[in-house]
Amino acid sequence: MPKSTPWSSLTMALGLCLLLPLSAAAQSETDADSTPSPPGESASLPELEGLAWYRSIDLSGPEMQSALSEDEVAEWGLMLDGADATFDQLEYTYQAAFDPSTLPDLGGLATVRIAGADTEVLREVVVEDIVSQVIGRGNDAPEVLDATIGGKDVTIVRLPPEVGLEDAIVYASGDAAYIFLMAEDLAALGLAQLP
């Protein structure tokens, strides 16, 4: 994943409002201030066969408004408008997956939670946001397709190689959208454990 300053444009979250934070995650995965996920929090994350999670980003909407540029806030705002929501309803986290014995970066899991959002609307606005971010970086529109992975109906956004990420696998449940940016076999393990 290309390194960038924490709040540069594109990135998830994966403002792509989603890619923006992902860019931040790429930077913070190597930063000293990144921390292993607390045991209680890790317990709520899917287990990936001996792998561990490392929290890179954990922000609420109001924190994002003060930490991001006006343009980045506007990008997240577009996604929230599409879900008929406000920044007060938004939570965003990014967890990097790694092997504690060898420490390779195996990708990550971004979670966008919009309190009270309709599940299907949330999935649509997250996918639209990812597509918009890819196009905004000068790439052709990515291929978007529906699939079943890990027993869950997901949407896959094929990210271009120059973005340096695995494809984005988007799954929504309740008022949360989960964006897996890792090999499909690992994503399948995680998806199988989600509600």
Q: Where are the domains of the chain?
A: 19-191
Q: Which residues pair with 114 in a beta bridge?
A: 90
**Element (DSSP H or E) covering residue 107:** strand 105-114
Could you tell me how many helices (H) and strands (E) the chain has, helices first? 6, 8
d(CA 139, CA 123): 22
Whole-structure pTM value? 0.79
Taking only the tens of pLDDT, the chain with its 195 residues reads: 333 322 222 343 443 345 444 444 344 333 334 444 443 343 367 877 767 777 678 889 888 888 888 888 888 999 999 999 999 999 998 888 877 777 677 788 999 999 999 999 999 999 999 999 899 888 999 999 999 999 999 999 999 987 766 899 999 999 999 999 999 999 999 999 999
Extract the tokens encoding 172. 């929504």
CB 51 within 8 A of CB 108: no
The beta-strand segments (E) located in the chain are 35-36, 52-60, 90-98, 105-114, 144-149, 152-157, 168-173, 176-181
